[in-house]
Amino acid sequence: MYATLSDVRAEGVTEAQASDERLIALLEEAGQVIDRTTGWFFEPRQRTYVLDGRGTPSLEPPVPPIRLDRLTAHGRELSRRPADLIVIGAPIVPGFFAPRLARTQGVFVRGQGNIEASGQWGYTEDDGSESGRTPLPIRRVCLLLVLRWLPVLADSDGGSEARDRWRVLEERTRDQSYKLDRVLDPGPFTGDPEIDRILLRFRRPPGMGAT
């Protein structure tokens, strides 16, 4: 999960509004929405990807590699030493555009599904650890989605304020009133511009694929 139960409780969600089981289910669903919308995932996961060799020195896997445990071509193990293989993956560094595996000598032999890459994968950001962490904006989106899906919160003053915060143009503290902007561009995914701006920023570049 991209956010935790304690993260949601810290947003003011009480046991009376939603049980732990309900919140965990919503956190998992929010993660699935994020994965489907962006095209990749944002935590370390163990995976094996089957890629097509193109007769070129480089390949673009569908998710940033964090750690490669095995790389083969037609069942034959390829060197993963830094001198022989350049890995552009996670934790993500500034300037990152897309993941890439590049051989410094030779090519990935042309073939359909002839390259297998196993290891730990995920779009993570640097936090000083080897695997990295879920990007903070993705964690925020996960929380916002859960808050949007809680009808009890949506009916309460706190939930309405959290839901409409992005539309506030003017506030007056004396009479506690505020003015909402019109929704001109609701965004292509959820209708919430704050959420959709982040999802657009983290979407996977087109043309990358594997099985």
Please tell me whether residues 96 and 145 are part of one structural domain.
no
Full domain range(s) for residue 51: 45-121
The domain boundary, picked from 66, 91, 121, lies at: 121
For the residues 49-74, what does the mean pLDDT come to? 95
CA dihedral 146, 136, 99, 211 (to 10 degrees): -20
Same domain, 31 and 49: no
75 pLDDT more than 60? yes
73 and 34 belong to one structural domain: no
Domain boundary among 89, 121, 153: 121
Residue 211 domain flag: no
- Write down the pLDDT at residue 167: 47
- Nearest-angstrom CA–CA distance, 175 and 22: 36
Q: Mind listing the pLDDT tens digit for each residue in 83-122?
A: 999 999 999 988 898 999 999 999 999 999 999 999 999 9
pLDDT at 166 over 60: no
Is 190 within a domain? yes
- Taking all residues of the chain, what is their mean pLDDT, rounded to a whole number? 85
What is the reported pTM? 0.79
Query: How many CA atoms, within 13 angstroms, populate the side-chain half-sphere of residue 144?
Result: 24
pLDDT computed for residue 211 by the predictor: 44
Residues 93 and 145 in one domain: no
State the pairing for strand pair 45-53/111-121: antiparallel
Kindly list the distances between the CA atom of residue 75 and the CA atoms of 58, 68, 109, in Å, as whole numbers in the listed order.
18, 16, 12
Give the C-alpha separation, 31 to 37, whole Å.
10
Residue 180 contacts residue 164 (beta carbons within 8 Å) = yes
pLDDT in tens, 178-207: 554 444 444 567 778 889 999 999 999 876
Digit-coded pLDDT (tens) for 128-148: 999 999 999 999 999 999 999
One domain, residues 35 and 100: no
Residues 63 and 14 in one domain: no
Are 53 and 74 members of one domain?
yes
d(CA 64, CA 42): 10
Least confident of 39-48, 68-77, 129-138, 155-164: 155-164
Find the Cα–Cα–Cα–Cα dihedral 145, 196, 158, 11, rounded to 10°: 50
Together in a domain, 150 and 195: yes
Residues 63 and 90 reside in one and the same domain: yes
In a domain, 130, yes or no: no
CA atoms within 13 A on the CB side of 149: 19
- Are 31 and 15 in the same domain? yes
